[in-house]
Structure 1
Amino acid sequence: MATDFGFTTWGADIVRIAEPITASVPNASAPSARRIARNNGVTLEIDGRQVTARVHRGGEASVARLEIAAMESAVVVALREEMGSRTEPDDTVHAALRARGLRPAAALEAADCSCRARKTMCVHVLAALYALAALVDHAPSTVLGMQSGQGSADDADTDAVDGPPPRWTPIAALSVRDYYVAER
């Protein structure tokens, strides 16, 4: 049987988020999520490190949001050295980074879904991860852009140094005095 998701090492890293090797039992939602992704039931929108997935399953639709962690600056520097003038990283670049003791794999920083499942890895989040893995398999530079928060791998170290923008506004950052003031 051919592997639909994760046939490159870059895509396999995304599949490992959905199917961690540390899991003691397989996720019962995974086959359904793979079916949804395989049948084009997921529409992905990538904006920096944020991935919004519109997941259609039967007569219902949900929105899953994924936030990919920023790549470490040491990995960015080594990645540029290994890639040289190439624009797309391949499995040999991944293997060379691993041989240096670096971890180029994408990591999930946060995930949520609009469904009622009340668990982080619902079928919609899993389907989004499988669809993302398929996209990364065909265009590995996509994952580099997501990990950098930029659209290309050339600007990969800017967010690693500055850090990602805050995901939420802390309540202490709001001005109590102006909270109920109406703007005209």
Structure 2
Amino acid sequence: MAGEFGVTPWGRAWLRTVESARLTAPEPALPRARNMARNAEVPGPRVTPGLVEAEVRGHPVRIEVPPFEDRETVVRLRAEYPAGAPGELADELHERLTEQGIGLAELGEQHCGCASRKPRCVHLLATLYALTRRIDEEPRLALTVRGVAPDQENHGWIALAEVPVAGFYTAHTLD
């Protein structure tokens, strides 16, 4: 996926928030923003329900994301179309949400700490590109950022960081 944005249906939905077909004139900051995201100049970004944050070249970026209006339908469909691996979402879920008219990507208030007077500076655009890439890599973030937490079931998986290292091998030795 190196250098590409919007390679999954989940990422494409978020890519449209950056590269809207409704633009009447070319956005000169887009190529620079893409390069910043490709060159890892946007660490993260941090994704939590309702919020995307990043630090881009020393400028704090904050993007608010509204929750799903029809959260109950999203949760119900998520349960009907479970994903196989942690972090993944079934493509069928994307199709059903689209059929229901539920938009996956929506932006609220956006703020950058830079001095630009443009409503969407290069730092904000780079953060949106980086978010798109993260969602391509980990589609569940597309729902998390809109307020729908990942499945509580984990199919027996636990995070490696949760494995108690001290005494792990000594506790599991054969007699």
The secondary structure found in structure 1 opposite 2:151 is: helix
Contiguous gaps of at least 5 residues in structure 2: 153-175
Aligned residues: 147
2-structure distance, mates of 1:146, 1:153? 10
2-structure distance, mates of 1:91, 1:27? 31
- The Cα of 1:85 is off from its aligned counterpart by 6.1
- Which residue type is aligned with residue 79 of structure 1? L
Report the counterpart of residue 12 of structure 1 in structure 2.
Answer: 12
Report the counterpart of residue 76 of structure 1 in structure 2.
Answer: 74
Alignment of 1:15-30 (within 5 A): 15-30=15-30
Alignment of 1:42-81 (within 5 A): 42-43=42-43, 44-56=45-57, 61-71=58-68, 72-81=70-79
State the TM-score, normalizing by the size of structure 1: 0.72
- The Cα of 1:136 is off from its aligned counterpart by 0.2
- Which residue type is aligned with residue 32 of structure 2? S
2:83–2:90 CA contact under 8 A, matched in 1: no
The secondary structure found in structure 2 opposite 1:42 is: coil
- Which residue type is aligned with residue 48 of structure 2? D
- The Cα of 1:102 is off from its aligned counterpart by 2.3
Say if 1:133 and 1:13 are closer, same or farther in 2 by CA, change over 3 A. Answer: same
Say if 1:92 and 1:3 are closer, same or farther in 2 by CA, change over 3 A. Answer: farther
2-structure distance, mates of 1:40, 1:127? 10
The structure carrying a bigger strand percent of its residues is: 1
Report the counterpart of residue 110 of structure 1 in structure 2.
Answer: 109
1:68–1:110 CA contact under 8 A, matched in 2: yes
Report the counterpart of residue 161 of structure 2 in structure 1.
Answer: none
Report the counterpart of residue 34 of structure 1 in structure 2.
Answer: 34
The percentage of aligned residue pairs carrying the same residue is: 33
2-structure distance, mates of 1:63, 1:129? 13
**Moved >6 Å (runs of 4+):** none
Name which of structure 1's ranges 23-32 and 83-92 shifts more when overlaid on structure 2. 83-92
Report the counterpart of residue 151 of structure 2 in structure 1.
Answer: 154
Contiguous gaps of at least 5 residues in structure 1: 156-184
RMSD: 2.1
